[in-house]
Structure 1
Amino acid sequence: MSVGFSVADRVARVTLDRPERMNAVDAATEQELETIWREIEARDDISCVVLTGAGERAFCAGADLKGGSGSSGLDYWAASRVNGFGGLAFRRSLDVPVIARVNGFALGGGFEMVLGCDIVIAAQTARFGLPEARVGRMPLDGGMVLLQRKIAFNRAMAVMLTGRQFSAAEMAGFGVVNEVVPAIELDAAVDRWVADIVACAPLSLRAIKQTVNRTGHLSPAEAQALRTPALVKALQSEDALEGVAAFQQKRAPVWRGR
């Protein structure tokens, strides 16, 4: 599997090519994704990321069991992947909003990548699931530790303990998917969400996500007292003044990212 990456108008688009055959232990693929996430983290001209799979069949169907990696499940579990599947599942250093454009199957590691995104837009035909238990494995790269923190316990356990596939509508009911649309309207729906995000101040977006990422384990009082670097930068920025001035003057703000 290869990864497409492009940036235009403050939006980075990351496309998983041949997503139905992604091999989770392919070192080259993992490194390619890691390089992309690090580049996005280092740039200040990106306000939003859209992650999707090429074609219409799959967002990402997880590890390629037919291809095989030659390693055991124990070897895979013991390997260091601090950010989870695809370098994204539980990454906490990426302060740019990430939208999952789910166009088809999001299974196993693919679903774990979805769980690492901030907003999920899915086609009505999309399918979600963690089928690992059905093949004698476990959702090691984020599924077991993320899903129970995102949705009700019994629903998370139903997903993991049955290995079933769930519809986009069911996942919307669980609270995992933000919007479900006909497949033909998927791009338009994603573009609406992108437009709303890009209309916000870039430094505010980074401050919000960085604060959320770094305070989830704290009490509300501790979180409120934490001064994250992105938060301080946004509060002291020219954009903070520009936003208020634009509101008072009834015009669109001109963000400068400083």
Structure 2
Amino acid sequence: MTQTTYQSVTIEVADRIATVTLNRPEVLNAVGAVMHAELRHVFRDLAEREDCDVVVLTGAGRAFCAGGDLAWLQSMIDEPDRFLAILEEAKGIVFSMLELPKPMICRMNGDAIGLGATLALCCDMVVASETARFGDTHVRAGLVAGDGAAVILPYVVGYMRAKEMLLTGALVSAQEGREMGLINHVVPAAELDAKVALLAGRLVGGATRAIRYTKIALNKKLRAYAQEQMDMLMAYEALSSRSADHAEAIDAIRSGRKPVFSGR
């Protein structure tokens, strides 16, 4: 399916570089129902566009993506069947990013949290502002880390580091992320655009077919693993979305207090 207009995502193309911006700065680009649905389609659309060879993914304002929108998460607690409706969307986001033949750079202008961490991991290169943080905080919200990070993170940082990050929901600084191979480059905020432009320029000026086919080959095993694992991961996340601990976590976050988990 091709979708040409978006409400919460913007696309700008210049010099064969498409810049995709998550555009909800008032909530730190947290993903709600509309953005989640749009993210399922935007990378398929970009794959088909003939006016761009490189994609840059970034966020508007001071964050890259703060994860799931709290009001949206609360709506799925109130109406549990709404969570089941987004399972195919969640898989579609990850699959479409890993299958995009064009190289994609994450311009991590701020924190990449929860689903934001998954979006960054699905890119081919990450350039981060030195103040940015990264982390999949699903478990801190009483949820299984099912939307992709559990598939990709072990490939990037190794299983022991990945398990610590995913089981604790800990955040790492951009510098820590660079040291563990999670982030390619860390620069001051004032230098972020120049660094991203330098990398994008190298890619757009390179041999397009060679670059695309190399990316496809590099992602082949990861794509197969994602296809194998995502049904199970999303099923577990759906189960955890109905838990008392998830409801408690969201209520605590919205109330500005520390959650008290019961294990239920």
- Stretches of structure 1 that go unaligned for 5 or more consecutive residues are 219-258
Residue 36 of structure 1 aligns with which residue? 42
Structure 1 position 180, deviation (Å): 0.4
Correspondent of 1:80 among 66, 84, 87 = 87
Contact kept? 2:132, 2:173, Cα under 8 Å: yes
Structure 1 position 96, deviation (Å): 0.5
Contact kept? 1:83, 1:90, Cα under 8 Å: no
Correspondent of 1:47 among 37, 50, 53 = 53
Residue 63 of structure 1 aligns with which residue? 68
Structure 1 position 212, deviation (Å): 2.0
Residue 96 of structure 1 aligns with which residue? 102
Which one-letter code corresponds to 1:126 in the other structure? Answer: A
Correspondent of 2:147 among 118, 136, 141 = 141
Structure 1 position 45, deviation (Å): 3.0
Give secondary structure in 1 for the equivalent of 2:70: coil
Q: What RMSD in Å do the two structures reach over aligned CA positions?
A: 2.5
Partners of 1:107 and 1:23 in 2: CA distance: 9
Does the alignment pair 1:160 with 2:166? yes
Does the alignment pair 1:204 with 2:210? yes
Structure 1 position 81, deviation (Å): 2.9
Residue 184 of structure 1 aligns with which residue? 190
Greater RCO structure (CA 8 Å; 6+ sep): 2
Select between 73-82 and 10-19 the one with higher mean Cα deviation: 73-82
Residue 175 of structure 1 aligns with which residue? 181
Contact kept? 1:172, 1:178, Cα under 8 Å: yes
Partners of 1:170 and 1:82 in 2: CA distance: 31
The 1:176/1:90 distance shift into structure 2, 3 A limit, reads: farther
| Higher helix proportion | 2
- The number of aligned residues is 215
- Please give the TM-score of this superposition, normalised by the length of structure 1: 0.75
Partners of 2:111 and 2:95 in 1: CA distance: 17
Give secondary structure in 1 for the equivalent of 2:50: coil
The 1:77/1:180 distance shift into structure 2, 3 A limit, reads: farther
Structure 1 position 209, deviation (Å): 1.4
Partners of 1:44 and 1:83 in 2: CA distance: 26
The 1:202/1:147 distance shift into structure 2, 3 A limit, reads: same
